[in-house]
Structure 1
Amino acid sequence: TLPDGIYAKPASLTPAEQIFKQAVENRWPERHVVSWRYIAPDADRMPRPLREAKATGELTIRYDAVVRRITTDEKTGRATGAEYIDRNTGAVSTARAATVVLSASPIESVRLLLNSVSAKHPDGLGNSSGALGRYFMDQLPCLAFGSFSKAKGWAPDDSAPTDPFYNPSGGIFIPRFEEGDAARGDFDYQGSVGRAPIFGDRDARLAFFGFGRMLPYADNRITLDVRRRDAWNIPVPHIRCVMQEEEQALLRKQEETLIAIIKQVGGDLEFIGSPTGLKEMGKGAFPEADAFSRFMFRKWFRKTMCMGAAIHETGGARMGENRQASVLNPYNQVWDSPNLIVTDASAFPGSGIAGTTLTVMALTIRACRNLVDQYRTGRL
């Protein structure tokens, strides 16, 4: 649902967000404030493609199955299936397949590939280049809370029916930087204005979360911790994701830009914070809270607003045009085992500045179609 996205259904803005949108676009005509996202609840709690696959009678779903590694052929090195542990009994089983699709999210997919050691893959499956686990990224996070004096009160969003399992979706996406803007592609902001319940006719509350671009560094990586294992005796991942000077500077610019936007359209910030620290303004963070709650907020903020807070992790099994510098080919196939594809955000060579889900979905469809076509035509 980024700008120019095609929405499944209309997504509404609150009255306060409409005022905020007009104020921003009057001040910066090149920046377009749009609705953030529309998420309709699914009563079946099952995605439509899975429902359709299940309806064919050819889909087997294994519940309580903790995958330990991808199995491979000792002679060819190609993937033969997945070895998994029954979560309740501890029994080890193997699901065999002619082709394998791995999409377990970046950290877990990389962990499984690193744990899939064999004679053909001594350093992990897909690691002949040495790039497996490397170039891991998350987006640069910042968080800001405050109020918006040009709007009063709050309003619920009835764009989507109530979902019993999730909070209401919606909000605004700001700003859309045009090609002439020096910050285009560096960061964006998602947030809300006038959605938080408040008493009386007070200024509307606002909240924004910023997402900034992180560059890929070989030393930012996922490795296996040989000293620590999980409940199923599988090595846990060790994660290194450290900002460099480029990211430090970009994060400062990301915060400064958000502060300027909010101030110049009539907003008042209480705080803005990121992995660089917490900056309080005016009466400070949550001025109406009790002293102990404010103390705990300040104490724990830096521990929670750290790298990883964006939860848009990418990289670790990057795609590329040659096998010497990447794990996957341009169609998400593992160079060392082409009947195995990895289609989650571990395939990304860059971090981007927005949520990864729609891109992951598109890559998965594209990669699966290519895999099936190669298999049917005997090229795999």
Structure 2
Amino acid sequence: MANNHYDAIVVGSGISGGWAAKELTEKGLKVLLLERGRNIEHVKDYTNASKEVWDYPHRDQATQEMKEKFPVLSRDYALNESTMGLWADEQANPYVEEKRFDWFRGYHVGGRSLMWGRQSYRLSPMDFEANQREGIAIDWPIRYEDLAPWYDYVERFAGIAGTREGLEVLPDGEFLPPIELNCVEKDVAQRIEAAFDGQRHLIHSRVANITQAKPEQNRVDCQYRNKCWLGCPYGAYFSTQSATLPAAMNTGNLTLRPFSIVTQVLYDKDRKRARGVEVIDAENHQTYEYTADLVFLNASTFNSTWILMNSATDIWEGGLGSSSGELGHNVMDHHFRCGASGDIEGYLDKYYFGRRPAGFYIPRFRNVGDQRRDYARGFGYQGAASRQGWDREIAELNVGAELKQALSQPGGWTIGMTGFGEMLPYHDNRIALDHSVRDKWGLPVLSVDVELKQNERDMRKDMIQDAVELLEAGGVQNVKGEEGDYAPGMGIHEMGTARMGRDPHTSVLNAYNQVWDAPNVFVTDGACMTSSSCVNPSLTYMALTARAVDHAVAELKRGNL
């Protein structure tokens, strides 16, 4: 086995792993960045970035062969020709569903930072306080004020387009100019504001698409192509490839090793510290060891916890970090596919420029202030208004020249939105190692046992009814409430399983994301979340990562790690 030493090892190269690599290398540490999948080079490997639907053999639809190979992806929109190669091989990387859980994974350099929806919101002071206030699970060990300067820091680098609204429930940030609402959305927003006495708001989406160039990062402003999930040749949206990886590489302190499956953290029981990691090379199946003073686990929520569960099992049966009894528990996602849509009359002399990669956002208003519902927490909405295109159905015109002429013109305006609801951290929503099932490399797989509880089911009723009420108040016609197919995991916001806390008896990590049982091991991806809020979590992972690195390097210099 080869033995190579670095100052720090980062496991996983997605949103949080890219940030860890950037921050550690810029602070002068020699860093090894390990990724279990292939390398995807910025621009060069975005093979479908400029293709249109007609450029694909099956018009970007999933074939029967694809559905057989990707049975989980085939449950949703994610399976298509344009994104082939960007999702984990389900045959080589199986998992066990005790209950249905749609786990969408990206095993390559950049991870899901290449395919994410880019919605970027801060958790609010209320989110950090909710568990303690309501007696649910455990209290966060930090408050909004602890993370606010780090939100500022990562927003300025990543580039978040948005508007300052002065809402306590959705804190403002360091924003670039917004991606504008269209004329229909602006009018609907005004009507909603008036109808609810300024208590409900339709605002611009806050998205990690830059609207002003960042030449220092070699990134060009958004071109309104709306092909973000295929990789952006302009670097207009934030990803590992466009932003954090180049910054880390520019320091000369980074070594990137793809095709490296981390099987365990190597633990020194005498020092009570990690000494490095063990790796299986995904191509030659050989085992290697790499040592370091710091280990950052950023392999994505479930995979970071898998690594902990598979580590130091000679000391703790449940793995490194399991002494609290909470490792693997408290899985959360954002439940969605509940909302409404309708038609907008008029505006036929109005259109919009390009293909926006964003729409509107309606911040949470339920269980805010004095009014209370029968369930805990709340939800926000994401949506958009647009004019129908050439693929609409026109029942009266179904053949010939009149149909062709009609389809050459845009149709009427429609508007729709879906709610994203908070899922509470339930102890019995959990993952565990299943040694009876093995992956391609002979490693045990995860068994997932997660479901929505009554609190979320009750919330979903409001998510539909409130959407109808909002749109009708906004002047929308023919409004229909909608509930689509949803199972945990589909939000692609899996969180929990190695939560932060104040007490090593009830949490896996401390206030700086350090594993209580090995303080030189940090977990700063979604696994660390103590509650989920209802906003997209990636911006919080970025801020937590930057904060943890700052603490880790300071502690390393003091000789405490």
Q: For this structure pair, what is the TM-score category when the shorter chain's length is used for normalisation?
A: 0.7 to 0.9
Residues 1:272 and 2:474 aligned together = no
- Distance apart, 1:43 and its partner CA: 3.5
- Distance apart, 1:140 and its partner CA: 2.1
Asked if the contact 1:142–1:255 (Cα under 8 Å) also holds between the matched residues in 2, the reply is: no
1:211-222 equivalences in 2 (<5 Å): 211-222=420-431
- Per-residue displacement from partner, 1:299-355 (whole Å, max 9, x unpaired)? xxx3xx222222222110001100000000111000000000000111111111010
- Distance apart, 1:97 and its partner CA: 0.7
- Per-residue displacement from partner, 1:177-207 (whole Å, max 9, x unpaired)? 3645547951111111116635546431223
Show the counterpart of 1:206. Answer: 415
Show the counterpart of 1:65. Answer: 260
1:73-112 equivalences in 2 (<5 Å): 73-112=268-307
Cα distance 1:139–1:334, how it changes in 2: closer, same or farther (>3 A)? Answer: same
Residues 1:371 and 2:539 aligned together = no
Residue 224 of structure 1 aligns to which amino acid in structure 2? L
Residue 251 of structure 2 aligns to which amino acid in structure 1? T
Asked if the contact 1:152–1:202 (Cα under 8 Å) also holds between the matched residues in 2, the reply is: no
Residue 21 of structure 1 aligns to which amino acid in structure 2? A
Question: Which one of 249, 256, 259 corresponds to residue 54 of structure 1?
Answer: 249
Quick one: distance in 1 between partners of 2:303 and 2:353? Answer: 35
Cα distance 1:155–1:128, how it changes in 2: closer, same or farther (>3 A)? Answer: farther
Show the counterpart of 1:170. Answer: 358
SS in 1 for 2:522: strand
Quick one: distance in 2 between partners of 1:362 and 1:249? Answer: 32
Quick one: distance in 1 between partners of 2:244 and 2:206? Answer: 21
Residues 1:35 and 2:204 aligned together = yes
- Distance apart, 1:266 and its partner CA: 2.9
Identical columns (%): 32
Residue 417 of structure 2 aligns to which amino acid in structure 1? F
Quick one: distance in 2 between partners of 1:315 and 1:88? Answer: 31
- Per-residue displacement from partner, 1:67-98 (whole Å, max 9, x unpaired)? 22222124334212222222221122122111
Residues 1:10 and 2:183 aligned together = no
Quick one: distance in 2 between partners of 1:19 and 1:145? Answer: 18
SS in 2 for 1:69: strand
Structure 1 residues 223-232 or 99-108, which shifts more?
223-232
Quick one: distance in 1 between partners of 2:388 and 2:302? Answer: 33
Show the counterpart of 2:76. Answer: none
Asked if the contact 1:151–1:194 (Cα under 8 Å) also holds between the matched residues in 2, the reply is: no
Show the counterpart of 1:353. Answer: 534
Quick one: distance in 1 between partners of 2:276 and 2:352? Answer: 48
Show the counterpart of 1:248. Answer: 457
Quick one: distance in 2 between partners of 1:64 and 1:150? Answer: 54
Quick one: distance in 1 between partners of 2:351 and 2:290? Answer: 50
Asked if the contact 2:379–2:420 (Cα under 8 Å) also holds between the matched residues in 1, the reply is: yes
Question: Which one of 296, 309, 324 corresponds to residue 505 of structure 2?
Answer: 324
- Distance apart, 1:111 and its partner CA: 1.2
Residue 265 of structure 1 aligns to which amino acid in structure 2? G
Show the counterpart of 1:288. Answer: none
Show the counterpart of 2:468. Answer: 259
Runs (4+) of structure 1 moved beyond 4 Å?
151-158, 180-185, 198-201
- Per-residue displacement from partner, 1:138-167 (whole Å, max 9, x unpaired)? 122124453332454684555xxxxxxxx8
Show the counterpart of 1:22. Answer: 190
Asked if the contact 1:188–1:353 (Cα under 8 Å) also holds between the matched residues in 2, the reply is: yes
Flag structure 2 segments of 5+ consecutive residues without an equivalent.
Answer: 1-119, 122-169, 211-231, 391-406
Quick one: distance in 2 between partners of 1:47 and 1:235? Answer: 34
Quick one: distance in 2 between partners of 1:196 and 1:225? Answer: 48
Asked if the contact 1:37–1:169 (Cα under 8 Å) also holds between the matched residues in 2, the reply is: no
Quick one: distance in 1 between partners of 2:294 and 2:495? Answer: 24
Residues 1:132 and 2:320 aligned together = no
SS in 1 for 2:254: coil
Residue 306 of structure 2 aligns to which amino acid in structure 1? R
Asked if the contact 1:13–1:157 (Cα under 8 Å) also holds between the matched residues in 2, the reply is: no
Asked if the contact 1:102–1:343 (Cα under 8 Å) also holds between the matched residues in 2, the reply is: yes
Instruction: State TM-score, norm by structure 2.
Output: 0.57
- Distance apart, 1:47 and its partner CA: 4.2
Quick one: distance in 1 between partners of 2:497 and 2:533? Answer: 15
Quick one: distance in 1 between partners of 2:387 and 2:435? Answer: 46
Quick one: distance in 1 between partners of 2:388 and 2:508? Answer: 44
- Per-residue displacement from partner, 1:211-232 (whole Å, max 9, x unpaired)? 1111111100111122212222
SS in 2 for 1:258: helix
Question: Which one of 427, 436, 439 corresponds to residue 227 of structure 1?
Answer: 436
- Distance apart, 1:369 and its partner CA: 0.7
Quick one: distance in 2 between partners of 1:156 and 1:185? Answer: 36
Question: Which one of 297, 301, 314 corresponds to residue 119 of structure 1?
Answer: 314
Quick one: distance in 2 between partners of 1:355 and 1:308? Answer: 14
Residue 191 of structure 1 aligns to which amino acid in structure 2? G
Asked if the contact 2:388–2:411 (Cα under 8 Å) also holds between the matched residues in 1, the reply is: no
Asked if the contact 2:293–2:520 (Cα under 8 Å) also holds between the matched residues in 1, the reply is: yes
Instruction: State TM-score, norm by structure 1.
Output: 0.83
Quick one: distance in 2 between partners of 1:236 and 1:102? Answer: 18
Asked if the contact 1:333–1:339 (Cα under 8 Å) also holds between the matched residues in 2, the reply is: yes
Show the counterpart of 1:190. Answer: 382
Quick one: distance in 1 between partners of 2:352 and 2:538? Answer: 26
Cα distance 1:265–1:338, how it changes in 2: closer, same or farther (>3 A)? Answer: same
Cα distance 1:157–1:334, how it changes in 2: closer, same or farther (>3 A)? Answer: farther
Structure 1 residues 239-248 or 71-80, which shifts more?
71-80
